Amino acid sequence: MSLCPCTSGRALSECCGPLIDGAPAASAEALMRSRYSAFVLGRLEYLDSSLAPEKREDVDHAEVEASSRDAEGLGLEVRTATEDGDTATVEYVARFRLHGQQIAHHELARFRREGENWLYVDGDVNPKQAPRVAAKVGRNDPCPCGSGQKYKKCCGA
């Protein structure tokens, strides 16, 4: 039993293998995992068939083939996966070793469902998150810890 490259902890034959061999993906996340596995395994025809048709001519097949041949898969981390009807997004980090260097590819990928098949459409590489906004607490404001005291006498002391 060989483990699936997508780092699900399951056997390839029970995880991404059937999808790479032609079974439809049950979710956009499953498609993303199988695309990662196909890249690591050198099954590049699957990358093309699971790509939206209008995007296929934009792919540099020679570059993808060279990258797949030279890269060692180090794992896939799916951070978020959301589906809304026939569209979905998956934020993930794919890790590789390429020419002795560790590489992390972080992407917010977009997918759409056509019939029973999910397709990769495109994505934003290294997506930026909205900056966190913290409310400023004034010295004479109530303490945010809920003690009922002024901030300056409680947590601000």
How do the domains of the chain map onto residue ranges? 12-126, 132-157
99: Cβ contacts below 8 Å, ≥ 6 apart? 70
pLDDT on residue 128 = 78
Three-class secondary structure assignment of 89-117 = EEEEEEEEEECCEEEEEEEEEEEEEECCE
> What are the start-end ranges of the H helices in the chain?
17-20, 28-41, 44-49, 61-70
pLDDT on residue 141 = 87
- What does the pLDDT profile of the chain (157 residues) look like in tens digits? 699 999 999 999 999 999 999 999 999 999 999 999 999 999 999 999 999 999 999 999 999 999 999 999 999 999 999 999 999 999 999 999 999 999 999 999 999 999 999 999 999 998 877 677 777 888 888 888 888 898 888 988 8
- Which pair of tokens denotes residue 116? 């029973």
pLDDT on residue 144 = 83
Rounded Cα–Cα distance for residues 83 and 72 (Å):
30
Backbone angles phi and psi of 35, in degrees to 5:
-65, -40
Please state the pTM of the whole predicted model: 0.80
Whether 78 and 92 have beta carbons less than 8 Å apart is answered as yes
pLDDT on residue 130 = 66
- Which pair of tokens denotes residue 132? 């966190």
Which residues share a beta bridge with 90?
A: 81, 109
**Does domain 12-126 fall into CATH 3.10.450.50?**
yes
Rounded Cα–Cα distance for residues 12 and 54 (Å):
30
Whether 120 and 52 have beta carbons less than 8 Å apart is answered as yes
Strand order in the sheet with 87-98: 71-84, 87-98, 101-114, 117-125
